[in-house]
Chains A and B, each alone.
Chain A
Amino acid sequence: MSETTGVEMRIIPDRLRSRLQRAMRSWEVLLVAVAVGVFTFNSLASPFFLDAWNLSDATFNFTEKAMIAFAMALLIIAGEIDLSVASIIALASTAMGAAVQLGFDTPALLLIGLGTGLLCGAFNGFLVTGLGLPSIVVTIGTLSLFRGIAYMVLGDQSYGGYPSSFAWFGQGYVWWVITVEMVIFAICAVVFWIVLHFTQFGRTVYAIGNNPTAALFSGIRVARVKFTLFLLTGLMSGLAAVCLTSRLASTRPSIALGWELEVVTMVVLGGVSILGGSGTIPGVVLAAIIMGMVTFGLGLLNVPGIVMSIFVGLLLISVIAIPRLLGLVKVRLT
């Protein structure tokens, strides 16, 4: 073709880098590298790390938090945040504990746990979307409010006596070392992956996060989507409450204290921009596994929790800073 015209054809690529090249530079690949590094280090550092049962136990370090992190990822991508998640766990767990005292059985407990989560999520969602208040302020308020109610009900007491069938969620095994929580975690991961990356709803979440005003003028019901996301976060916190309560077989108002920050750390480490607009579910899954493996590996070496917090903090900062630093170096060199 070009011979006949005698004009040299120039191909203008529609992408600057090939699909493979882009994949190589993505956040997820960086996280996979970190995960492999953590895994290798742990295997070399402790002879107890590579053991199916031990690894199975270790997943409890992250499965419940990750369930919330999936919903939180969507919320943060949409430009909002929910800091009350750990307090929702406390309130949902207290509600379930109270229900046990009234003689309710496992199916009812599950519904009460999830229902309390939904109600709390609806309350947050209403304050943010209905009254137009900033979500960080609203959820700092409900962080105190929800746990405060749990403290009012329980004081220094605790609820126990959960039916033995309720233990299935947090202590049960589906097959060999595969725990029920792992399966719930995997199902949630797939569902959220599909919702965020392959549905119209997922696209609207990104659109809102990138520019809520433009999204509104494009005909997206911004308030309704945000409200749904708060509901979803509440629901997932309720689910985490069911799993955690089942695992502990008891409820105290101090349950899951401080988890909100670990969940947000997980989401940010997973590559979700804290300013909204970008992030992926596979990234959050990898971040959850990395955080679980780092704490478990350091635990095997009996590193005190204070040092562990320092490690997680450094990990977060370095994973986020290194690509930026490399970028700066590259700019200097060219």
Chain B
Amino acid sequence: MSITRRIFTSTVAALALTAGTSGAMAQDDPVRIALLVKALGIGFFEAARDGAMEAAEELGNVEVIYTGPTDTTAEGQIEVINSLIAQGVDAIAISANDPDAVAPALRRAQQRGITVISWDSGVAEDARELHLAPSSDALIGNTIIKLAADHLPDGGQVAVLSATSTSTNQNTWIAEMNAVMGDYPGIEVVATVYGDDLADKSYREATGLMQTYPDLDAIIAPTSVGIVAAARAVEDAGKVGEVNVTGLGLPSEMASAIDSGASQSFAIWNPIDLGYSATVLAYNLATDAAEAGPGATIPMGRMGDLTLDDSGTGAMSDPFTYDASNIERFKDVF
């Protein structure tokens, strides 16, 4: 979105708000939910705002305040939190720049009766009612192997191109993937290599895989650096159509790989669903339609129910799959 348009819309919003405060109060008070993001001007979060707007329309009497600092600092978010407390919003749904630094300000918001939840990037446990994680390790582990298996109905050889051998996230996901391998008969993981999240090393490792295993059918890269490098390695080796690259990646970086056919599909969280779910959850908690707590189940509209674990964290869904049918729409988003 161009800067002029953003300024224009926000100014209009500010004016509308100023004008509306006297008139609108007389009607049924809307539930005011603040979607507080890491920083304004980031495609991912603007997509989350679209989801929040969708939720607001569906719920009816909801006013979404999309806000955040200019750059990704905790101090900037605290200033915004203070102004949200001052306005007496009903709920704050935050993607935090720092889990600890914003906690004192959020606790003060809670003391003044504001519902606080975190999403995407969590905050300290006692500073929010629940945390909405985009997905869970188990769901991600299952998704990456399913993406490969879906295009191999007769089974085949797959290899994993990971980040570093000590990357906690990737190792957990690969372990979860191995745990569900029994559900995908005929699929064989022949190797796991490490590209260290460096474009050139990942490229070399991917090329090496194709030379070592000439019958390789798919490369799974659960890292946004590795997946792009692997797709390029497949294109350069002229193996488009033979080797399918999949895993976790960003639509903006993967659009060309989808176009060339080097990647049939890949996955990552959908920011629109995330903003939508966060808004519905905040609404349900703020209106006392649901209560957060260990083991609680809270409805989140079209995304189903969120089940919380002992730390008050819940996983939204499987990572969202991107392919030729939707890449055009998302490549400009994030």
Whether a CB of chain A sits under 8 angstroms from the CB of B10 is yes
Contacts of A54 in B (CB 8 A): 85-86
Contacts of B88 in A (CB 8 A): 48
> 8 Å CB contacts to A: which residues of B136-172?
none
A70 CB, nearest partner CB in chain B, Å: 20
Q: Which residue of A lies closest to B11 (CB)?
A: A307
Whether a CB of chain B sits under 8 angstroms from the CB of A257 is yes
Of the 9-residue stretches A187-195, A271-279, A298-306, which lies at the interface with chain B?
A298-306
Whether a CB of chain B sits under 8 angstroms from the CB of A84 is no
Contacts of A225 in B (CB 8 A): none
Contacts of B259 in A (CB 8 A): none
Contacts of A160 in B (CB 8 A): 100
Whether a CB of chain B sits under 8 angstroms from the CB of A256 is yes
Whether a CB of chain A sits under 8 angstroms from the CB of B284 is no
Against B, the Cβ 8 Å flags (1 = close, 0 = not) of A29-68 are: 0000000000000000111110101100110110000000
B59 CB, nearest partner CB in chain A, Å: 19
- State whether B18 touches A249 (Cβ < 8 A): no
Provide the bound-state CA to CA distance between A255 and B98, in Å. Answer: 10
Of the 9-residue stretches B71-79, B190-198, B247-255, B318-326, which lies at the interface with chain A?
B71-79
- State whether A302 touches B73 (Cβ < 8 A): no
- State whether A308 touches B70 (Cβ < 8 A): yes
Known: A46-B21, A306-B6, A306-B70. A61 touches B101 (CB 8 A): no
- State whether A257 touches B73 (Cβ < 8 A): yes
- Interface residues of chain B: helix, strand, loop or mixed (majority): helix
Against A, the Cβ 8 Å flags (1 = close, 0 = not) of B1-14 are: 00100110011011
Q: Which residue of B lies closest to A55 (CB)?
A: B86
Against A, the Cβ 8 Å flags (1 = close, 0 = not) of B57-93 are: 0000000010111110111101110110111100000
Contacts of B18 in A (CB 8 A): 45-46, 301
Contacts of A158 in B (CB 8 A): 98, 100-101
- State whether A256 touches B83 (Cβ < 8 A): no
Known: A300-B86, A302-B17, A304-B40. A254 touches B104 (CB 8 A): no
- State whether A305 touches B76 (Cβ < 8 A): yes
> 8 Å CB contacts to A: which residues of B204-255?
none
Contacts of A303 in B (CB 8 A): 10-11, 14
Known: A255-B75, A305-B68. A248 touches B21 (CB 8 A): no
- State whether A250 touches B100 (Cβ < 8 A): yes
Contacts of A300 in B (CB 8 A): 83, 86-87
Whether a CB of chain A sits under 8 angstroms from the CB of B103 is yes
A288 CB, nearest partner CB in chain B, Å: 15
- State whether B103 touches A299 (Cβ < 8 A): no
> Total A-B pairs in contact (CB under 8 Å)?
114
Q: Which residue of A lies closest to B73 (CB)?
A: A257
- State whether B41 touches A306 (Cβ < 8 A): yes
Contacts of A250 in B (CB 8 A): 98, 100-101, 103
Provide the bound-state CA to CA distance between A296 and B78, in Å. Answer: 12
- State whether A48 touches B86 (Cβ < 8 A): yes
Contacts of B73 in A (CB 8 A): 254, 257-258
Interface size class of A (residues with CB under 8 A): 35 or more
Contacts of A248 in B (CB 8 A): 74-75, 78, 98, 100-101, 104
- State whether A304 touches B6 (Cβ < 8 A): yes
- State whether A299 touches B41 (Cβ < 8 A): no
Against A, the Cβ 8 Å flags (1 = close, 0 = not) of B293-306 are: 00000000000000
Q: Which residue of A lies closest to B67 (CB)?
A: A302
Whether a CB of chain B sits under 8 angstroms from the CB of A171 is yes
> 8 Å CB contacts to A: which residues of B1-48?
3, 6-7, 10-11, 13-14, 17-18, 21, 40-41
> 8 Å CB contacts to B: which residues of A263-316?
295-296, 299-310
Provide the bound-state CA to CA distance between A53 and B17, in Å. Answer: 22
Contacts of B7 in A (CB 8 A): 304, 306-307, 310
Whether a CB of chain B sits under 8 angstroms from the CB of A96 is no
Against A, the Cβ 8 Å flags (1 = close, 0 = not) of B80-122 are: 1011011110000000001011011000000000000000000
Contacts of A171 in B (CB 8 A): 104
Whether a CB of chain B sits under 8 angstroms from the CB of A147 is no
Contacts of B40 in A (CB 8 A): 304-306
Whether a CB of chain B sits under 8 angstroms from the CB of A226 is no
Whether a CB of chain B sits under 8 angstroms from the CB of A244 is yes
Provide the bound-state CA to CA distance between A36 and B17, in Å. Answer: 23
A133 CB, nearest partner CB in chain B, Å: 30
A252 CB, nearest partner CB in chain B, Å: 6
Provide the bound-state CA to CA distance between A46 and B98, in Å. Answer: 29
Provide the bound-state CA to CA distance between A309 and B69, in Å. Answer: 11
Q: Which of A46, A51, A301 has the most CB of B within 10 A?
A: A301
Provide the bound-state CA to CA distance between A167 and B101, in Å. Answer: 12
* A–B pairs, 25, beta carbons within 8 Å: A45-B18, A46-B21, A48-B86, A49-B86, A51-B86, A58-B82, A60-B79, A244-B75, A249-B103, A250-B98, A250-B101, A250-B103, A254-B73, A257-B73, A258-B71, A300-B87, A301-B18, A302-B67, A303-B14, A304-B67, A305-B68, A305-B69, A305-B70, A306-B70, A307-B10
| Residues of B participating in the A interface, judged by any CB pair closer than 8 Å | 3, 6-7, 10-11, 13-14, 17-18, 21, 40-41, 65, 67-71, 73-76, 78-80, 82-83, 85-88, 98, 100-101, 103-104
15 additional contacts (CB under 8 A) given A248-B75, A300-B83, A305-B76:
A45-B18, A48-B88, A57-B82, A57-B86, A247-B104, A250-B98, A250-B101, A250-B103, A254-B73, A258-B73, A302-B65, A304-B6, A304-B40, A305-B80, A309-B70
The 3 nearest A-B residue pairs measured at CB: A299-B83, A305-B70, A250-B100
